[in-house]
Structure 1
Amino acid sequence: MSPQAGDLFTVDGLEVEVRFRGGHRVKAVDGVSLRVGEGETLALVGESGSGKSLIALGAVDLLPPGAEVVAGRTAFQGRVLQDLEAPDWRRLVGMGIGVLFQDALGSWDPIEMIGPQSGEVLEAHETLGAEEVRRRVLDALGRVRLPRRLKYASYAHQLSRGQAQRAMLAAALLSLPRLLIADEPLSGLDVTVGRAVLSLIDDLRRERGMGLLLVTHDLGVVAGVADRVAVVYGGVVVEEAPVAALFRAPRHPYTDGLLGSVPALARGRLRPIPGDPPGLGELPHGCPFAPRCAHAVAGCRQERPCLRPVGDSQVACGRAEDLALPGTGA
């Protein structure tokens, strides 16, 4: 992917492999390229198991055990992460990039209070006294609308899921990062709490001018916050477009299927995607979506399509120009 003016964060040719017992390895992310501009929100959207979280976390080398980046290049503010020595990498990622993990409750150390844990990133990368670190943590907890002193001295098990996610957001923003990676931040939250958390994330992003890489399985939640959307299926991006163009006129059948599966977007008639997404190592030859696609023809099963410009989108579908997909009509 060629750098563009205003790019904050770019990912080129990312490949991630997952290792199973016995040493068997499977490619879970295959050649993904992305960019996030200054102050921009890019949403990574796809079904569970599509590889979207592996893309987001792999880009900054924060993968879970058993997963490994085997190829790719990530640049943040013009600096290539793979070229940095470990101390410089930790400082750049720790201070410049905030990460909001999916399992907020499980991400906290259960035997240490929330406040002191939150301040560890400042203690590691800045020369600050204990009182200044405490002041900043208290201020951050207040900014995410938590009772500051009460939650500072709380343990993870004393928080609700929504409170734990807000506290994690406060910790992620302590260092005033230029980019926030939010991996399924609404996971496990009820609808009302989830909307409040998403609104808070977007408000803080706008206030601070941050870039946001938002990982979610639900296109419905990105309509009001994303600038662009990258749709992920089988470890590859199958469509990328400005959010309004993607909702109005999707170019990939999988994107249209996701839109048709959301009651609020389906214009009165749900159009669920048939079948199940492929498991790791089970991608078919040709287009990975072909076995579930109502528009597939013989050629779709012979050659894997690459992203190419079609209208306002970049789309990996050999029939993109021929199809008139309904989208939302909005």
Structure 2
Amino acid sequence: MTPLFTVSGLRIAIRRDLDERVVVDGVDLEVGAGETLALVGESASGKSLIALGSLDLLSPGARVVGGTTLFEGTALQGLAGDDWRRLVGMGIGVLFQDAIGAWDPLDIMGAQSGEVLDEHTELTDEEIQSRVLEALGEVGLSKRRHFLAFSHEVSRGQAQRMMLAAALLAAPRLLIADEPLSGLDITVARAVLDLIDDLRAKRGMGMLLVTHDLAIVAAVADRVAVVYSGMIVEQAPVGVLYRRPRHPYMSGLLGSVPGLVRGRLRPIRGEAPDIFEVAAGCPFAPRCDHVVERCRTERPALRVVGESMVACHRAEELELAGVG
């Protein structure tokens, strides 16, 4: 079966002052219809760069310099502006990390929510408003009050629900959620997560979920891609990855999460590198308890080891701790 969403050879460069460097170099990933793929890793590991870069939605200072993105078999690169907006706007819904800042503060949120239908369908204004009100009810918001609200008048959790309603208006086949629970307290976050996953399942959507929260991943993901310093270091079905991690970084992440690991936590030593400082060998080598000289000089490529894809020179010989 052809994947719903395919990213091949994605390369992203970042500029700082007069220096530009490639920080994501050759990332591949796929999301199937109805499947949830989670991109996980520490803050500033490159997860959001990969997810948003696949749609060329990067912030100033970052740009895609290579690779191909296919959605339902159509390449996004090279599409004219209107064609790109139609394909992405109607086929792919996006939840941004900044649930408040993503909205124009000078316009009511309900009107902004309906813009995708206004631009890409023949629906009347009344029909669009009816669709928006219906979507607001579906995500558990007061229809009239939130339709007329400005972004400064709602909580972060309500803004994220508004964004979800807007993202689902066009009945997309794929949802890209970039840290959708960022800044929410635990109770609100759980409610929003359940809502996202329930609506995804009900509509049969695929989802690319960006998060650093491994408990969330365990609850909703089918497969996981582990990102470290701009590269995918491991990829596997969620159950396989949690029980039998093949990369020391993933084992370390699991060992650092209260509630997942039994007994004492096993935190990763050191700090994550600046993604702009590209290492010659494995980027995890300075923090790895299993490092050998080859790790410092030769960057490992992803390869099949057991049921996983892993970028570690020693993956076959290491017995790493998991959970469950």
Short-chain TM bin: over 0.9
Say which SS state the counterpart of residue 285 (structure 1) adopts. coil
Percent of counterpart pairs with the same letter?
A: 65
So what's the TM-score if we normalise by structure 2?
0.99
**How far does residue 268 in structure 1 lie from its aligned partner after superposition?**
2.1
After TM superposition, give the deviation of residue 6 of structure 1 in Å: 3.9
Cα contact 1:6–1:38 (8 A) shared by 2 = no
The equivalent position to 1:122 in structure 2, one of 108, 114, 117, is 117
Match of 2:96 among 82, 96, 101: 101
Choose which of 2, 9, 12 in structure 2 pairs with 1:16: 12
In structure 1, which of residues 254, 270, 273 is the aligned counterpart of residue 268 of structure 2?
273
Residue identity in the other structure for 2:7: V
The equivalent position to 2:204 in structure 1, one of 173, 184, 209, is: 209
1:209 partner amino acid: G
SS at match of 1:17: strand
User: Does the Cα contact within 8 Å between 2:24 and 2:230 map onto a contact in 1?
Assistant: yes
For 1:161-310, what aligned pairs fall within 5 Å after superposition?
161-310=156-305
Aligned-partner Cα distance in 2 for 1:269–1:68? 42
Cα separation, 1, equivalents of 2:2 and 2:143: 36
Alignment-mate amino acid for residue 284 of structure 1: A
**Structure 1 CA distance, aligned partners of 2:275 and 2:245?**
26
Aligned with residue 23 of structure 2, among 12, 19, 28 = 28
Q: What secondary structure, in the 3-state scheme, does the structure 2 residue paired with 1:223 have?
A: helix
Structure 1 CA distance for aligned equivalents of residues 49 and 157 of structure 2: 24
Segments of structure 2 that go 5 or more residues without pairing to the other structure are none
Letter in 2 for 1:19: R
Aligned Cα root-mean-square deviation (Å): 0.8
Assess if the C-alpha contact under 8 Å between 1:238 and 1:307 holds in 2: yes
2:69 aligned residue: 74
Q: In the alignment, which residue of structure 1 is the partner of 2:45? A: 50
Count, aligned residues: 324
Secondary structure of the corresponding residue to residue 154 of structure 1 = coil
Give the distance between the partners of 2:19 and 2:116, measured in 1 at CA.
36
Would you say 1:325 and 2:320 are equivalent positions? yes
Structure-1 residue corresponding to 2:135 = 140
Q: Is the 8 A contact 2:23 2:278 kept in 1?
A: no
**1:13 touches 1:72 (CA, 8 Å); kept in 2?**
yes
The Cα offsets for residues 5-29 of structure 1, whole Å up to 9 and x where unpaired, read as: 14100000001111122x3112221
Superposition misfits of 4+ residues, deviation over 3 angstroms: none
CA distance in 2, matches of 1:36, 1:83: 21
**Does the CA-based 8 Å contact 2:46-2:275 persist in structure 1?**
no
Query: How far apart in 2 are the matches of 1:109 and 1:74?
Result: 28
User: For structure 1, which runs of at least 5 residues remain unmatched after alignment?
Assistant: none
- Residue 40 (1) aligns with residue 35 (2): yes
* Aligned mates of 2:12, 2:294 — CA distance in 1: 28
Partner SS, residue 219 of structure 2 = coil
1:313 is matched with 308
In the alignment, the residues of structure 2 paired with residue 209 and residue 43 of structure 1 have an alpha-carbon distance, to the nearest angstrom, of 17
The one-letter code sitting in structure 1 at the alignment partner of 2:255 is G
Q: CA deviation at 1:155?
A: 0.7
